[in-house]
Structure 1
Amino acid sequence: MTQRLARGLDGLPAGSAPVRIVHLGVGNFHRAHQAWYTHQAPDAEEWGIAAFTGRRPDQADALGPQDGLYTLITKSAAGDELEVISSIVAVHPATDHEAYLTYLEDPALAVVTLTVTEHGYRRDAVGNLDLTADDVAADVTALRADPRAVVTSAPMKLVAGLLARRAAGATAITILPCDNLPDNGDVARALVLGGAAAVDESLVPWIEQHVDFATSMVDRITPATTDDDRALVEQRLGYADASPVPTEPFSEWVISGTFPNGRPRWEDAGAQIVDDVAPHERRKLWLLNGSHSQLAYVGSARGHETIDAAIADPQCRAWVEQYWDEAERNLGLPGEEVQAYRAALIARYENPRVRHLTAQIAYDGSQKLPVRTLPTLNADRAAGRLPTGCATTLAGWILHLRGIGAPVQDAGAGPAQEAANAGDAADVAGAVLETLQPGLGEDTELVAAVVAQAGAITT
């Protein structure tokens, strides 16, 4: 009978590092990225991660019986490399709020990391905490009545943890967002301070004194797990792993922060510790994430289920290159550096062994496009240029909202989806763009380009 992956079996790590990191939003990306870097760090035995799921408890159900262990499958043209990752030492469902508060009360806890997606930050139209959102409003009310009340939104979960930490007399800690948001450390600071002010004004100066909000840029293509991945692990290692993680060989992590209570030696595992993440962040968000979104909508509208299939479509590739030309001229980075990065992206996209689903990347477009596509679009329009590559992405998104290509999985897309289905595609484009950014739908030249590209995609 095949044994299930667990600590202490045939040389697998039997011990557990002490919990000094809490992670919110455990999923495949975190396990291929931050948990992998922590596992690779030379001081990993000092830095255990307690991970909490999002709203669904699936990962806790899968990883709990495995003591947090899982197999990372790195897929390259040369074959598969399998490695058991041991840095996650406890996995909890999001509902285990008391366990979360207990970790935050520990003075030894040094870092809280997050991968909760762009939507999870619960920002309003101007970037502040959306205190009118149902979950945020309910959390504020609950914490005013009881600082240990269960909360569900990510910003207020951070506030709840800091309330508990202050009450326990613990101090220095770093909050390190790992989502694809520009200046994500500053975003987290603004949201947490906004939530703290809404609950208890006295918490604000305490946070300003004791909490470091670090910023990071993250990059590693990580598809969803398949039954074939599970079968591969059992065949090669002899263990049944309920939740292995497939990923690509490439990985990048750029971090800026003071980490007053310490951190793992991530730089010895390949991370870059820098003073300013912004140039790396823009390069990745605009080139990789921006083209990923384009391929998700345009590629799926043209019948492609995966990124490697989409980039093999000559028309999709031409549109990606066109979009990259637009992004490059606004990045302000050396041309040879950008060209090398573009060439590396093509090689990564063409890897047929990393089946990155266009439908997976298409999630939450209403939150992703403003940070992935609109910076390039706005810069070009300000310079008097018409960015057809950006218009292609927006056209693909409108088709997506109209039911063409990948299914819509986007909690914030209600107004856009309603506008997209209020008439013919040519008639609704302006109204849809207006939901993405006020004034965008009044740009008649841009709207005409989006309509033309929608026709080109489906021709």
Structure 2
Amino acid sequence: MRLSRALPGMPAAAPVRIVHLGVGNFYRAHVAWYTHHAPDADAWGIAAFTGRRPDAADALGPQDGLYTLITKGPDGDETEVISSIVAVHRADEHEALLGYLADPAVAVVTLTVTEAGYRRGPDGAADLAHPDVAADVVALRADPRAAVSTAPAKLVAGLLARRAAGAGPITLMSCDNLPSNGEALARVVRSLADAVEPGLVAWVDEHVDFATSMVDRITPATTDDDRAVARAATGADDASPVPTEPFSEWVVSGTFPAGRPRWEDAGAQLVDDVELHERRKLWLLNGSHSQLAYVGSIRGHETIDRAIADPACRGWVEQWWAEAARHLALPGAEMTAYTDALLERYANPRVRHLTAQIAYDGSQKLPVRTVPVVAAERAAGRVPTGGATTLAGWVLHLRGEGAPVKDATVDAALAAATGGELPEAVPAVLELLGLGGDDELTAAVLTQVEEIHAR
């Protein structure tokens, strides 16, 4: 028997008022969870579209979007069936997407498409030279309802459909780990809209709110053990339960002209400016996660709890936190409380977060998680050992050590890292990160390569 709304006690589907691109465990552990717990949840159903792979649609479609959230606390599991997702589509169901965006009832579009999914060029605008983006522009110029493949082009196609239908204002909200992600999304969408039809930009400026959000909740990959837990809790087969940790933080800034669920009543923070929360999370949590993913996997640790239990890894993480903290305008006591909580979260063996999973897409992640702190430390005349450790781990990762390379935009970095011996590879990789020509930093990274191997 499969989990479904036909089972006794399961709620009816709410009307679709939110559309999501890139449904996966991360999204289902936060936005879908907060929406489920909002007091007006019965008015806010989510229609979700998969990313590059159709797995989520194949798993959740037969379950009417239902899934079991498994919160893995130190003392045991808590389970609940989340009902806020009411329709699940494959990424190629383009007409369905246009239909939703043309509906005045749809008020919010959210995204978790990963950093690489924004298809940004060096200036932050849409990368019009990328073959996939260029092909989407040509297709939409010829037919505004043409099927397109990239997430930014899907949004532009949806906005064209919304304008044609006179469906009114809408909010687009990124939930990806990008600094100022609302602004980043706006830059990509506006530039792509201008390339497709310059007149669309004025309509976007008048009708589209680009909200910013910061999400902090560790969500590992689903295992067969999680499916067994879900089965025991619900009495039904769940093909795609979501394991997560007890901690959850979601901070949102936006005007939401067409409305939104009462997320604040479910624990979200609605603020005027997300930036400080965002940098704290990107640098302290995500930055240390990336370090542990590369360095920890090189040292033989499969999961974050094993990596943080390694005294060398923990020492490097604490060095990184000290470096990052110097560039966060937050009280010292607040940062100490945050990093103490991170250590507890990382050490939880029941949240089995794979270092290989966190290592994905480093070419997109390090420029926002690691490079800003390293650059700030160098500008202050300091050589950051913690930052150099992350960079050393990434170079070794690119050279085939530790977690396997899985990165959509890694070609240039891979060529730089493997084009010679380490004394040539390190400065070549640093150059790509905007940290080139720095002999002291290069020497520090090479030293940390030796330290990672030695301890």
Q: What TM-score bracket applies, with the shorter chain setting the length?
A: over 0.9
The letter for the 1-side match of 2:101 is L
What is the CA distance between 1:386 and its match in structure 2?
0.8
Report what 1:4 is aligned to: 2
- One of 256, 260, 263 as aligned partner of 2:257: 260
| SS of residue matched to 2:326 | helix
- One of 207, 212, 226 as aligned partner of 2:209: 212
Matches within 5 A, 1:311-350: 311-350=308-347
| SS of residue matched to 1:38 | helix
The alignment status of 1:31 with 2:28, answered yes or no, reads yes
What is the CA distance between 1:433 and its match in structure 2?
1.4
Cα separation, 2, equivalents of 1:446 and 1:261: 49
| SS of residue matched to 2:239 | coil
1:311-367 Cα distance to aligned partner (Å, 9 max, x none): 000000000000000000111111000000000000000000000000000000000
Report what 1:390 is aligned to: 387
1:169-195 Cα distance to aligned partner (Å, 9 max, x none): 111100010000111111111111000
TM-score normalised by length of structure 2? 0.99
What is the CA distance between 1:430 and its match in structure 2?
0.3
Cα separation, 2, equivalents of 1:111 and 1:409: 31
Matches within 5 A, 1:108-127: 108-127=105-124
Report what 2:145 is aligned to: 148
Cα separation, 2, equivalents of 1:123 and 1:436: 15
The letter for the 2-side match of 1:445 is E
The letter for the 2-side match of 1:9 is L
The alignment status of 1:402 with 2:371, answered yes or no, reads no
Cα separation, 2, equivalents of 1:125 and 1:210: 27
Matches within 5 A, 1:170-189: 170-189=167-186
What is the CA distance between 1:233 and its match in structure 2?
1.3
Report what 1:299 is aligned to: 296
Matches within 5 A, 1:43-442: 43-437=40-434, 440-442=435-437
| SS of residue matched to 1:379 | helix
| Contact 2:18-2:109 within 8 A present in 1 as well | yes
Cα separation, 2, equivalents of 1:374 and 1:421: 21
| SS of residue matched to 2:252 | strand
The letter for the 1-side match of 2:292 is L
Superposition RMSD on alpha carbons, in Å?
0.7
TM-score normalised by length of structure 1? 0.98
1:401-441 Cα distance to aligned partner (Å, 9 max, x none): 0000000000111111111112222321000111222xx12
| Contact 1:320-1:389 within 8 A present in 2 as well | yes
Cα separation, 2, equivalents of 1:127 and 1:383: 26
Structure 1 runs (4+) greater than 6 angstroms displaced = none
- One of 419, 440, 445 as aligned partner of 1:445: 440
What is the CA distance between 1:124 and its match in structure 2?
1.0
- One of 440, 449, 452 as aligned partner of 1:454: 449
| Contact 1:35-1:88 within 8 A present in 2 as well | yes
Cα separation, 1, equivalents of 2:216 and 2:430: 28
| Contact 1:306-1:358 within 8 A present in 2 as well | yes
Cα separation, 2, equivalents of 1:77 and 1:157: 41
Cα separation, 2, equivalents of 1:393 and 1:28: 26
Which ranges of structure 1 fall in alignment gaps of 5 or more residues?
A: none
| Contact 2:371-2:433 within 8 A present in 1 as well | no
The letter for the 2-side match of 1:5 is L
The letter for the 2-side match of 1:285 is L
What is the CA distance between 1:231 and its match in structure 2?
1.2
Cα separation, 2, equivalents of 1:236 and 1:185: 38
1:261-284 Cα distance to aligned partner (Å, 9 max, x none): 000000000000000100100100
| Contact 1:97-1:150 within 8 A present in 2 as well | yes
